[in-house]
Amino acid sequence: MTTQKNIPPHPMDSLLRTERIPHIWCPGCGIGTVFGAVLAAIKNTGWDPNQIAMVSGIGCTGRMAGYIKLDSFHTTHGRAIPFATGLKLARPDTKVIVVSGDGDLFAIGGNHFIHAARRNVDITVICVNNLNYGMTGGQQAPSTPLGAKTTTTVNGSPEEPFNFCYLASACGATYVARWTAMQVRSLRSSITEAMQKRGFTFVEVITPCPSSFGRRNRMGSALEMLKFYHGRSVIRGDIDPKDASMDIDKEIVVGKFVDIERPTFMDHYENANRHQMPNWRMHPDNQKER
């Protein structure tokens, strides 16, 4: 019988809470692939793990925070980004990573995403997009494609889905990228770049959910879903995010769409406290010294 002593060490053991393994994710789920890419990106940076924190919301992806051997917070539904914002303000030298699913980040957590990107809070947000609420029964999510079947849209979704990358770009994110779980090397590189970039950075990952979304839409096995997403993906790093289609009936546009520089929230906050902010368009007759 194989004992624990006979099992060779995993290359990521230093970043894993191995006592909590095996994980809860279904066979064929893409979250494990994304989790591996996050761990590899953390190693690529060479940063001290004591200076990195992970914050997650509720859902299948949220369990990452419980498996990673870092300071981590498994927060309430839709509130990962405000928790992460508070952590970043309290400990500015800490690199804060948010990992969560499409429903947690863009439905109940949508306003928090919009305003964190607008403020350019210096955090990295990784969205695992499996096109439905996987943990709670496979309900319709903000990412569910038009016409796709879920437990709450048995005749097909009547709603157009969000383009998350366009939303992130429009709100002011400094880095925006999208990949499928099949494009592991590109995903690892993007997460590494996003972590090393100042400001609000965003990486979306299209992943298979064979137990819920795939089964209800007769997409076959997890491997067949991966091949389907990969086959429909087109790399277009030169495209405007508003044109980065996520129509799985036609094509899934992937690549790095945004990589810009702009002052972070902390930059502006420090200037405000030093009374160095420019006057806000006051009428000359009403201007007073600060």
Q: Which domain CATH number covers 156?
A: 3.40.50.970
Is position 78 within any domain? Answer: yes
pLDDT at 40 over 80: yes
Query: Does a structural domain hold residue 25?
Result: no
Residue 279 falls within a domain, yes or no? no
Residue 23 lies in a domain: no
Contact 138, 221 (CB under 8 A): no
Give the pTM: 0.91
Q: Which of 47-56, 96-105, 150-159, 224-233 has the lowest mean pLDDT?
A: 224-233
What band does 43 get if pLDDT is binned at 50, 70 and 90? very high
Domain of 108 in residue numbering reads as 31-44+51-132+141-274
| Interval 143-192: pLDDT, tens | 999 999 999 999 999 999 999 999 999 999 999 999 999 999 999 999 99
Alpha-carbon distance of 81 to 53, in angstroms, equals 13
Tokens at residue 273, please? Answer: 């406290």
User: What is the C-alpha to C-alpha distance for residues 13 and 150, in angstroms, rounded to an integer?
Assistant: 37
In a domain, 4, yes or no: no
CA distance 54 to 124: 10
CA dihedral angle for residue 149, residue 153, residue 155, residue 156, rounded to 10 degrees: -50
In a domain, 282, yes or no: no
Q: Is residue 168 included in any domain, yes or no?
A: yes
| Residue 230 structure tokens | 């990969």
Supply the pLDDT for residue 256: 97
- With respect to residue 227, please indicate whether it lies within any of the assigned structural domains: yes
- CA separation (Å) from 204 to 14, 18, 20, 250? 26, 27, 26, 19
Model pLDDT for residues 115-149, shown as the tens digit of each residue: 999 999 999 999 999 999 988 888 999 999 999 99
Phi, then psi, of 205 in degrees rounded to 5: -125, 120
Token pair belonging to 80:
């990962």
Q: How many domains does the chain have?
A: 1
Instruction: Please say if the pLDDT value at position 7 is more than 80.
Output: no
Q: Give the span between the Cα atoms of 55 and 138, in whole angstroms.
A: 23
Can you say whether residue 204 is alpha, beta or left, with left for phi > 0 and alpha for psi between -120 and 50 degrees? Answer: beta
